[in-house]
Structure 1
Amino acid sequence: MAENATVLIVDDEDRIRRLLRMYLEREEFSVEEADNGTDALHMALTNDYDVILLDIMMPGMDGIEVCQALRQEKSTPVIMLTAKGEESNRVQGFEVGTDDYIVKPFSPREVVLRVKAVLRRTTDANYNKGKTQATNLIVFPHLTIDLDAYRVTANGIEISLTPKEYELLCFLAKAPDKVFKREDLLKEVWEYEFFGDLRTVDTHVKRLREKLTNVSKEAAKMIVTVWGVGYKLEVDDA
């Protein structure tokens, strides 16, 4: 899975970049580096990386600004690196489209595992995009999810989602009309506890609705907030 996969490491601390490079190359990843946000954005827009490890706090253009600008053009998976205590920055990161975050000081092995988890999804997606016949579909009146091709269309128009946005939508769509608590969505979709940072779910739902609204207001309205509980994907039987 890691073969030929390319990771861009963005951090202004040389020590951190060297440490992450060592562990990732040990797992046969191809690694490139940037020590500032401006160079990182240029590299991310001109190259197709499989995963970007992006530090939030950098002089000049910070990680939030890089991710925000990147999301205007690409859905490359982004794992944000944040210092402990930067909760507000982490929430900002999710709002601009970060897929995951890792708190410093971190275990390099954890970083490798998170990168591999992203690749398990995107590798399958790229492999299946070449298939011409869909065999595994979730179909609603205004929304279709092709699980084989990792493709979402609303009213026939394809929507570009980040891996985590896609996973969240699929999870809700596989159990239509069932209400899920935000805590349960964190556990099931993110596969680990976020220690009470429930706004992670809220910001992803917000971005998902915005993307659906741009194509189909009817599809966007299917994602319903159940106040005080969580969210569901509501299907109109009419």
Structure 2
Amino acid sequence: MARILLADDDAATRELVRRALEADGHSVHVTQDGSEALDCVEGAGAQKFDVLVSDVEMPLLDGVALAQRVLKQPNIRVLLMSGFAEQLDRARGLKSGQVAVLSKPFTLEEVRSSVRKLLG
């Protein structure tokens, strides 16, 4: 299955999303902010991921800025999650086809379904 990078500053959300995606057989690497996630993709020992699942509103580096950097990697898809309409509008401005947005609150099935659609 897919290698997924998960970035969310809320521990409870991180854990729920991680469990849901692992239940689908995905390998999930968890980070707690955008800066830490970016380091996993661009830093020393960078890893390759199929999907980035990220909250939009995070400290240090928000999800939209993170997505803009991560989308420079070939073949990666992005799922951005937020409870703020204006943040989702920013996210919708990114590359269509490679980026999906999900409004909070969401169900775990919505997360799983969104990732499946991104993976094709």
Match of 1:17 among 2, 14, 18: 14
Once residues 113 and 65 of structure 2 are traced to their aligned partners in structure 1, the CA distance between those partners, rounded to angstroms, is 26
Measured after TM superposition, the shift of residue 72 of structure 1 is 3.8
Secondary structure of 2:79's partner? strand
What are the superposed Cα offsets for residues 108-130 of structure 1, whole Å, 9 maximum, x if unpaired?
0111111111112xxxxxxxxxx
Supply the distance in 2 between the matched residues of 1:50 and 1:73 (Cα, whole angstroms). Answer: 10
Contact 1:71 1:96 in 2 (8 A): no
RMSD: 1.6
Q: 1:38 aligns with which of 35, 40, 59?
A: 35
Alpha-carbon distance, 1:35 to partner: 0.3
- Superposed, which structure 2 residues align to 1:210-225 within 5 Å? none
How far apart are 1:81 and its partner, in Å?
A: 0.5
When residues 17 and 88 of structure 1 are mapped into structure 2, their CA distance, relative to the original with a 3 A threshold, is same
| Residues 1:89 and 2:87 are matched in the alignment | yes
Equivalent residue for 2:25?
28
Higher CA-based Rg: 1
Residue 47 of structure 1 aligns with which residue? Answer: 47
Letter in 2 for 1:104: K
How far the C-alpha of 1:44 sits from its partner, in A, is 2.6
Could you state the TM-score of these two structures normalised by the residue count of structure 1? 0.45
Q: Distance in 1 between matches of 2:75 and 2:56?
A: 18
Q: Name the structure 1 match of 2:66.
A: 66
Query: Which runs of 5 or more structure 1 residues have no equivalent in the other structure?
Result: 121-238
Q: How does 1:84-123 map to 2 (within 5 A)?
A: 86-97=84-95, 99-120=99-120
Q: Is the 8 A contact 2:5 2:28 kept in 1?
A: yes
Separation in 2, partners of 1:41, 1:102: 21
Instruction: Determine what percentage of the aligned residue pairs are the same residue.
Output: 26
**2:88 touches 2:103 (CA, 8 Å); kept in 1?**
no
CA deviation digits over 1:3-45, x for unaligned, max 9? 3x11111100111111011111111111111101111112133
Higher RCO (C-alpha 8 Å, min separation 6):
2
Cα deviation for residue 51 of structure 1 reads: 1.0
Q: Which runs of 5+ in 2 are unaligned?
A: none
Q: Partner letter of residue 99 of structure 1?
A: V
